[in-house]
Amino acid sequence: MSADRPTHDPLLVEIGTLELPARLLSDLAVNFAAKLEAKLAPEGWIAGAGNPVEAFYTPRRLAVRIAGVAPLRPGQIRIQRGPTLEQAYDASGKPRSAALGFAKSQGVELDELTVESGRLVYRFTEPAVRLDDRLPTLVEEALRQVPADREMRWAAGIPPFVRPIRSVLLLHGASLVRGRVYGLETGRFAQGHPVHHPEPVPIRLPDEYESALRRAHVLINRPGDATLREEIWAKIEHSAASFRPEWHPLRSAATLKEVSDLVEWPVAIAGTFPHKFLELPQSVIQAVLCGQQRVFPLVDTSGDLAPGFVAVVNLESTDLDRVRAGEERVILPRLSDALFFFEQDRRQPFAERARELDSIIFEKRLGHLGLRRERLTLWMERWAGAFGLDPSLAREAASLVLCDLTTTLVREFPELAGEAGAHYAHLHGFQAPVVQALREAYLPKTAEDSLPESALGALLSLALRVDLLAGYFRVGEKPTGQRDPFALRRAAQGILSILDPRAHPGTAYAPSGSPPLALEALFETSLTGYPASAKVSATPASLAAELYEFMLDRLRARHLDLGGEIEAFEAVASLRPPTLEDFRARLDALEALQARPELKTLVQMMKRVGNLLKKSSREDDPTDAPAVQSVWEPDEARLASSLENLESRVRADTLAGRYREALEALLALEAPLAGFFGSVLVLAEDPVLRTRRLILLRRVESLLRTVADLARLKGD
Amino acid sequence: MAAFQDMVFGLNQFWTGQGCLWIPSYDLPMGAATFHPQTFLRALDDRPWAAAFLQPCRRPQDGRYGENPNRGQQYFQYQVLMKPTPTDFQERFLDSLVALGVNREAADVRFVEDNWESPTLGAWGLGWEVWLDGMEVAQFTYFQQMGGFDCEPVMGEITYGLERLLMYLTGSADMYALAWNEPGASPAITYGDLFRANEAEMSRFNFALTDPASLASRFTALENEIPVLLAQGLVRPAYEQVIETSHLFNLLDARHALSVSERQRYILRIRKLAQAVATEYRATAR
């Protein structure tokens, strides 16, 4: 453009805070960057598209850097268009209310308006705005819009934020942008490491942000970037290797993420714990070390846990041995507690614990755990056969699966449910398949988690999830929007994963049962067996239907997450296939043929078929064929005979589940249908002809709905 | 800092130097220093307040008969309150650690998210637990609500867990071995000398010898008194009864005398009483 266009310099915004919650940090950084960009971009501050907006964070700061931001938004001429002259004035030239109203809405007198192309317009010059005059306001607005589950108020007259804000850095190129944000004077200083660099860190240029902070002993993190995590992991490995060369740290992605969001200057330090604690099941030790203490267990060369760990601290201590001793001292009572609980629990015969379940409330409206156990047992007995399992084994697994909830170990470490039960069941002599099923009962815990390997484990995991969903739906507790307090969506995802054969390469059992289980039927057994007093929100049949729809919603989300197209999904979903296997088979067939040009043409013509059928009135559409035979046009006859050929074949293929063959066959309809539309007038004057042709089209429509509703596909 | 009493003196000296008023402990059993009327009630009005105090606390269910070196049914909290909260509250807290002998160059101090909630007091706040080399030694909270009311202005609260803090300072793994006075003093008294027998006896009492039926009926009697007291504008006596109901509830809990749903009902009963007191206090204080 013109030469007076101002240079665009990078902008750096940092808010220094007290320690932000680790679990929220990366989301906060992403949201702050997004909100700030959403403030700056529409006002034209950001130069061009594709200008990188970078988000940064540490536990004590959130920052955003934008590569090209204008220092000035030039003054510009603005034109507001008002009513036409006819609307504005009456025949005598007197202004009507439209003219007066427009002037008022612009805050000007009538004579300040001008006429352009037959309209009243208000033309004015909007003054230039300097970034310095605008940015502080926009930063504060963006911060106020960053979503947080709970906001903190810390001082009167200051808006709330996740944690107190202590400093605000606004740097545009080399210049400080002066102003006030959250009651604080802006500056060009960032917070350094609290011990290694207590003085504020001057930032000269936005691009020197990371390097200046690194010199001040602060390592900057970026959302979704593993660099810092890997840097920390390397330190952990190094620390372990120099501590005991034969020990290696056990990587836990969750702990590594958490640790990297808790420190600004990570230093790894290895320590030990007494050998006697290795009597504990490895999962218990891991729960204590990773879950409670956020340190990394060490394993020996054979992969067994060693009596050691690596902790990550936030400074280069002048007294490393003292820090090590401190970490060791904290771990000791936790492991002692766990060992005490474990010893106590193992003394009681595991199966006896079932009696205690009646006195533990599962959920107020859903009754106690004893009732849940009975429902699970019934469910397992009913479906064992479909998975090729012995019903008595299924019954045993179901009757034991809740027992570990009465152990002190699980009360202390809820995440060990399942794992703990497996240990105690093993100690008390239960058979290996049951023990394995108990261990697998809560898998998958997350979307990335592994699935049960045994059929009994898979069935048990399904039972727990189906019962959970059915129970909460029964009392009307369905997830809405962001609200899903009972994690029902995750439970549904787990069911889909377990029933998805593609998630189980090489498993010995049919993951969807054999024959595949109908989704609605899965829930039926779980909709009864509750306390009589509980209010029920609907009949079992309608609840099962609601649950089917809910599963379909999850399946849709999963399909889209994997990059699938919504149209193909809806084409299949509209037929409401009863089993997931059937759903998947139809979708696979459709996706395999989707690129075929005949299919696209067919889909385009389907829209036309649909429109014609919609246009036709009811009397045009008797169910019986017309009695009078009049002359068939060639293309009409050709379509009729193609239909004749295809209908039985497509239906036979569909019934046999040969969806791909059925679809391939359907493609043959494209040519006759095109010919038909090319030469035959569907809405003919003669009602007999019209009806006959509409019936042909109805048959086409119905045929193209056998595998999936092809009309829902994209036609372009 | 090697002795328990010196640590308390040190905290007194430090925080009175920061403008806090030293006030006495409250003379009723309570589960946490937040129950102190100078905390609960003061958080509800709009007047400035800065105070520091030692408070013995009781959690009957944490009793271990004096046999667990990390846990007891009685323990000591040191509480600091500042309203409005100074902007450098965190730095002042860190300075207090230095005053007690923590070497900032050597110790890994961390502030880890910990959102405090007291369902019985209808209260919650946002803040941190403070780790020293991995050990939680203090909680740092900005009260957001008390008795169901928004705290305005916000009161900041620091609660030191004194046993753990001294265990950290002395590198000890046994709370009963902690020195109460100077280790060289004569006689040299340990924490165990003072409280171990108490722990053993109180654990037996709490876990086995209280009478749940009488605890429950005392609870109900207090519950009935509170509205009567409030009707006469006696906010502080009414609040004392709330503190007592809370302790009775803790004793019942230690006997495992409450089912899950009953337990929840008791919590709601206490909360209702605390809210009634808070409402009356605000009506008279504002």
Give B122-181 pLDDT, tens digit per residue: 999 999 999 999 999 999 999 999 999 999 999 999 999 999 999 999 999 899 999 999
For residue B79, the distance in angstroms to the closest alpha carbon of chain A comes to 18
Q: Are residues A267 and A320 in the same domain?
A: yes
For residue A709, the distance in angstroms to the closest alpha carbon of chain B comes to 51
DSSP line for A507-523: -SS-TTTTTTPBHHHHH
Size of interface A-B (CB pairs under 8 A): 108
> What residues contact A61, with CB distance under 8 A and at least 6 apart?
A14, A15, A16, A17, A190, A191
Task: Tell whether A18 lies on the interface with B, counting CB pairs under 8 A.
Answer: yes
For residue A317, the distance in angstroms to the closest alpha carbon of chain B comes to 4
Q: Are residues A552 and A455 in the same domain?
A: yes
Q: Please indicate whether, in this complex, the C-beta atoms of B110 and A364 are within 8 angstroms of each other.
A: no
Alpha-carbon gap, residue A561 to A351, rounded angstroms: 42
Residue A262 has its nearest CB partner, among B104, B112, B153, at B112
Residue A317 has its nearest CB partner, among B84, B108, B154, at B108
Cβ-contact A598, A538 below 8 angstroms: no
- Domain presence at residue A221: no
A117's tokens: 């192309």
Q: Are residues A236 and A318 in the same domain?
A: yes
Paired sense of beta strands A248-249 and A267-272, if any: unpaired
Find, among A158, A129, A140, A128, the residue nearest to A39 by Cα: A140
Q: Are residues A481 and A532 in the same domain?
A: yes
User: Which residue segment(s) compose the domain that A642 sits in?
Assistant: 594-712
Give the residue-averaged pLDDT of B202-209. 94
- Domain presence at residue A580: no
Q: Are residues A394 and A534 in the same domain?
A: yes
For residue B137, the distance in angstroms to the closest alpha carbon of chain A comes to 11
For residue B143, the distance in angstroms to the closest alpha carbon of chain A comes to 9
Please name the helix (run of DSSP H) or strand (run of DSSP E) that holds residue A656, with its range, or none.
none
Task: Tell whether A594 lies on the interface with B, counting CB pairs under 8 A.
Answer: no
CATH number of the domain at A99, please.
3.30.70
Domain B211-285 coded CATH 3.40.50.2300:
no
- The pLDDT score that the predictor gives to residue A505 is 59
**Looking at the domain that runs over B4-204, which CATH code has it been given?**
3.30.930.10
Window 134-193 of A: residues touching B by CB (8 A cutoff) are: 150, 152-156, 163-164, 166
**What residue segments make up the domains of chain B, in order of their start?**
4-204, 211-285
In one letter, which amino acid is A466?
Answer: V
Q: Are residues A171 and A311 in the same domain?
A: no
DSSP line for A374-411: HHHHHHHHHHHGGGT--HHHHHHHHHHTTGGGGSHHHH
Q: Are residues A470 and A493 in the same domain?
A: yes
Q: Are residues A528 and A465 in the same domain?
A: yes
Distance separating the N- and C-terminal Cα atoms of chain A: 38
Q: Are residues A26 and A160 in the same domain?
A: yes
Q: Are residues A333 and A444 in the same domain?
A: no
Cβ-contact A249, A240 below 8 angstroms: yes
- Domain presence at residue A179: yes
- Domain presence at residue A459: yes
Q: Please indicate whether, in this complex, the C-beta atoms of A18 and B90 are within 8 angstroms of each other.
A: yes
- The pLDDT score that the predictor gives to residue A507 is 59
- The pLDDT score that the predictor gives to residue A360 is 79
Q: Are residues A53 and A154 in the same domain?
A: yes
**Predicted-assembly ipTM surpassing the 0.85 threshold:** yes
Paired sense of beta strands B74-83 and B49-58, if any: antiparallel
Q: Please indicate whether, in this complex, the C-beta atoms of B112 and A153 are within 8 angstroms of each other.
A: no
CA atoms within 13 A on the CB side of B204: 5
- Boundary-marking domain end, from A163, A185, A215: A215
CA atoms within 13 A on the CB side of A352: 7
Q: What is the mean pLDDT of chain B?
A: 95
Task: Tell whether B47 lies on the interface with A, counting CB pairs under 8 A.
Answer: no
- The pLDDT score that the predictor gives to residue A2 is 41
User: Phi and psi dihedrals of A156, rounded to 5?
Assistant: -65, 140
Q: Are residues A521 and A447 in the same domain?
A: yes
| Mean pLDDT split into 10-residue runs, chain A, 716 residues | 64 97 94 95 81 93 95 85 88 87 88 87 88 96 92 94 97 96 97 96 97 97 94 97 95 92 96 95 90 93 95 96 94 88 89 88 83 94 90 95 91 87 94 95 85 92 95 89 85 90 63 76 84 76 91 91 88 92 92 88 87 71 56 89 92 92 92 90 84 90 91 80
Burial class (CB in 10 A: 0-12, 13-18, 19+), A448: exposed
- Domain presence at residue A587: no
Which chain B residue is nearest to residue A21, measuring alpha carbons? B113
Domain count, chain A: 5
Residue A318 has its nearest CB partner, among B90, B106, B113, at B106
Alpha-carbon gap, residue A361 to B262, rounded angstroms: 11
